[in-house]
Amino acid sequence: MAERLKNRADFLRAQRGVRKIMPGLTLETCATPPAFAKPGCFRVGFTASRKVGGAVARNRAKRRLRAAAAAVLPLSARECTDYVLVARSSTLERPFDGLLKDLVAATAAVHVKLRAGEDIEKAR
């Protein structure tokens, strides 16, 4: 089950976390703070800067990211994790199946990095 990120602080926390840049999108992720963590739930947010284009282009890019996230994240997201999908200028031109492949690969890559970080903290 997914919840939406809406607070700036949540986006900034994810920005400081693990990041994977792909041709169609950038995925930023971090652990959900304990105060907001719910079992079996993850949080997701979407953003597009003015580099993507005007308001119409940014909204279209975010719609494409929301559709990709709805298709991929319920199957591959980890619980108690925040995901932020950042639109790139190529998000608009990239074929949708390419966008899905980018998100699947990015999700797998950040999970490996998150797991490695958790292993290091357990060793301390």
DSSP one-letter string for 44-100? EEEE--TTS-SHHHHHHHHHHHHHHHHHHHHHHPPTTEEEEEEE-GGGTTS-HHHHH
According to the model, what pLDDT value does residue 119 have? 58
Phi-psi map region of 40: left, alpha, beta (phi>0 left; psi -120 to 50 alpha): left
Check which CATH number belongs to the domain holding 42 and give it: 3.30.230.10
Residue 124 lies in a domain: no
Residue 70 lies in a domain: yes
- Assess whether pLDDT exceeds 90 at residue 39: no
- Assess whether pLDDT exceeds 60 at residue 124: no
Residue 123 lies in a domain: no
Supply 117's token pair.
Answer: 């970080």
Residue 29 lies in a domain: yes
- Domain hosting 78: range is 2-118
Task: Check residues 115 and 122 and name the one with the higher pLDDT.
Answer: 115
> How many domains does the chain divide into?
1
According to the model, what pLDDT value does residue 114 have? 82
